[in-house]
Amino acid sequence: MIKKTSVIAMLFATFVCINLTSCNNSNSEKKETPKVEDTKKNTEVDYTGTYHIVDKTSCDISIVIKKSGNDLTYKSGNVEGKVEIIVEDKDTYLNFMAINGKSPEGDCEAKYENKSLMIQNEGNSMNQYNHFKQCDAKYLELKKIK
């Protein structure tokens, strides 16, 4: 008798679990839709143009981003390469591939916001790097001028 009730209880629990997991939660659909719309909005942004450093006392650099077919490319001084767009939640980053040596170690990531790029130029004692050696600032802000 104990075995029959255990089997019946297990079958009932399985039935309840299957029904609960197969229910369509309308709230989860609403959460997925904005992510797709945000991605579409970010792909409509025109990243091309010339970006100049705001604080010219630390250095004088510029980055030119152009469209080349379906890709974005950059040029900064004598260095050229591809630009990768990274969207994380509501933030957009531009990854300048191999701007400071071979990729991925030489990649430089910039946060894109309001037609400007924010780059952490220097690391710390645990993670040492310097993207633009001619610049003595830890953070570099470049604004789009064209």
Q: 50 and 118 in one domain?
A: yes
Alpha-carbon span 86 to 46, nearest angstrom: 14
Q: 89 and 56 in one domain?
A: yes
Q: 74 and 36 in one domain?
A: no
Q: 82 and 35 in one domain?
A: no
For 70, phi then psi, to 5°, come to -95, -5
Q: 37 and 53 in one domain?
A: no
Whether pTM > 0.85 for this model: the answer is no
Per-residue pLDDT, 15: 54
Q: 123 and 83 in one domain?
A: yes
Q: 134 and 76 in one domain?
A: yes
At a CB cut-off of 8 Å and minimum separation 6, what does 144 contact?
49, 50, 51, 115, 116
Per-residue pLDDT, 44: 81
Per-residue pLDDT, 129: 84
Q: 109 and 52 in one domain?
A: yes
What is the total count of domains within the chain?
Answer: 2
Q: 130 and 86 in one domain?
A: yes
Per-residue pLDDT tens for 78-137?
899 999 999 999 999 999 998 766 667 778 999 999 999 999 998 888 988 888 888 989
Per-residue pLDDT tens for 19-56?
544 454 444 444 433 333 344 445 589 999 999 999 98
Q: 140 and 80 in one domain?
A: yes
Q: 115 and 89 in one domain?
A: yes
At a CB cut-off of 8 Å and minimum separation 6, what does 140 contact?
53, 55, 58, 59, 61, 117, 118, 119, 121, 132
Range of the domain at 24: 2-42
